[in-house]
Structure 1
Amino acid sequence: MTVHGRYTGVLADSPAFDDPFNALPGVDRDAAFVRTNIPVWAASADLAAPASGVAIGARIWLARGDLVTNLAFTSGDTAGVTYTHWWHALYDPDGKLLAQTADQAAAGWAADTTKRLALAKPVPIKSAGWYIAATMSAAATVQTLTGAAPLASTATVHIGSKAAGFTFGAGLGAAAPAATGAQTTAAKVPLVVVS
């Protein structure tokens, strides 16, 4: 027992301060870095797919000192069909590309399947903030995604707030754009797991 109770590490590093950003039951947050943008229990919707070649982004809180190496999204009840390109990417809070996974090209993505992909390079987080995790599929049929479908889809739920989920780009291919550019607010927030 310490003056901080049962936690024996540096108090400022306690995973207790990460809630609700690590809402994954069974994950030992002292042993593995992992964050989610929404609690896994809130991912109760099968989100309509964006158009082919359009990226969908979700804001996720990352803390200074985090090291992001992987992004994971989970498909919903509809599998993708005839892919030409698909990838995940991490953007900074201003929408500038930090890293992308390899283009998965024609590889399939079945229904109800999590695709955890490694970024081309690990991204050290130098300042805390609301980063953007995105995924894009160019396919004859784009897979749906598991996530939350909030009724309040606008970015103005509070003065200065930004949309939790949005789409960007058009006709995207093998490479993620260097910046998100214009973000179209969407009433859908895909579940993303960062590790």
Structure 2
Amino acid sequence: MTVHGRYTGVLADSPVFDTPYNALPGVDRDSFVRTNIPVWAATADLDAAASGAAIGVRIWLARGDVVTNLAFTSGATAAANLSHWWHALYDPDGLLLAQTADQAAAGWAAATTKRLPLSKPVKAARAGWYIAATMTAAATVQTLAGAAPLAATAGVHTGSKPAGVTFGAGLTAAAPAVTGAQAAAAKVPLVVVS
């Protein structure tokens, strides 16, 4: 134990506001990895959004964090007859920062993590709750590993926002430039940014 508790580095770099910071056992705490929920909390097999709609989750990024990859993990159901799918990163206001290449008809098997590089690295201009999203257009959309809160609404505190949202309809190869209206979802897929 140190004067700063369990954190032994420079106090200004403390992960105190980055909870859960790096909730991946075995991964060096000093490497840049962020998760929106601890990996052990991803105990639900979540229905993803409808085909052609995106599902997004809020993830805390500190100012200066550089994101190059997004990873989502499928649950027990594989995607089938895919036409488009991708991951994307949005700023706290819902503006698109970057997306991965459209994976088109490439498969996404059950219980498989798909870690994809963004089209360009994104440096967080400010600390905040960014939105990491994934979208699949397919006859069968894969389920996602994550957490299933009891309620979809925010309201746990004045001004709070839902941890999971859906947005868009009829999406194909390109992520929308803005999320637009976000519908609260009682599902929070695990996302890992690196």
- Give the TM-score range, shorter chain: over 0.9
Which digits, 9 at most, give the CA deviation of each residue in 1:114-169, with x for residues without a partner?
A: 00000000000111000000000000100000000000211222211111001000
- Determine the structure 1 residue equivalent to 2:22: 22
Q: Give the Å deviation of 1:15.
A: 4.2
Are the counterparts in 1 of residues 46 and 146 from structure 2 also a CA contact under 8 Å?
yes
Q: Give the Å deviation of 1:17.
A: 5.3
- Determine the structure 2 residue equivalent to 1:187: 186
Give the TM-score normalised by structure 1.
Answer: 0.94
Q: Trace 1:84-95 onto structure 2 (pairs within 5 A).
A: 84-95=83-94
Residues 17 and 178 of structure 1, relative CA distance in 2, 3 Å threshold = closer
Residues 136 and 7 of structure 1, relative CA distance in 2, 3 Å threshold = closer
Are the counterparts in 2 of residues 72 and 116 from structure 1 also a CA contact under 8 Å?
yes
Aligned equivalents of 2:182, 2:28: Cα separation in 1: 35
Q: Give the Å deviation of 1:9.
A: 4.1
- Determine the structure 1 residue equivalent to 2:59: 60
Aligned equivalents of 1:138, 1:6: Cα separation in 2: 44
- Determine the structure 2 residue equivalent to 1:73: 72
Q: Give the Å deviation of 1:20.
A: 1.6
Aligned equivalents of 2:76, 2:56: Cα separation in 1: 19
CA RMSD of aligned residues (A): 1.8
Aligned residues: 194
Are the counterparts in 2 of residues 62 and 131 from structure 1 also a CA contact under 8 Å?
yes
Letter in 2 for 1:115: K
Are the counterparts in 2 of residues 154 and 185 from structure 1 also a CA contact under 8 Å?
yes
When structure 1 is superposed on structure 2, of 164-173 and 149-158 the one drifting more is 149-158
Aligned equivalents of 2:172, 2:142: Cα separation in 1: 16
Q: Trace 1:154-165 onto structure 2 (pairs within 5 A).
A: 154-165=153-164
Which digits, 9 at most, give the CA deviation of each residue in 1:92-123, with x for residues without a partner?
A: 00000000000000000000000000000000
Aligned equivalents of 1:58, 1:128: Cα separation in 2: 16
Letter in 1 for 2:34: R
Aligned equivalents of 1:164, 1:111: Cα separation in 2: 24
Are the counterparts in 2 of residues 56 and 135 from structure 1 also a CA contact under 8 Å?
yes
Are the counterparts in 2 of residues 15 and 29 from structure 1 also a CA contact under 8 Å?
no
Aligned equivalents of 2:136, 2:68: Cα separation in 1: 20
Give the TM-score normalised by structure 2.
Answer: 0.94
Identity of aligned residues (%): 82
Q: Give the Å deviation of 1:22.
A: 1.5
Stretches of structure 2 that go unaligned for 5 or more consecutive residues are: none
Q: Give the Å deviation of 1:182.
A: 0.5
Q: Trace 1:1-195 onto structure 2 (pairs within 5 A).
A: 9-15=9-15, 18-30=18-30, 32-195=31-194
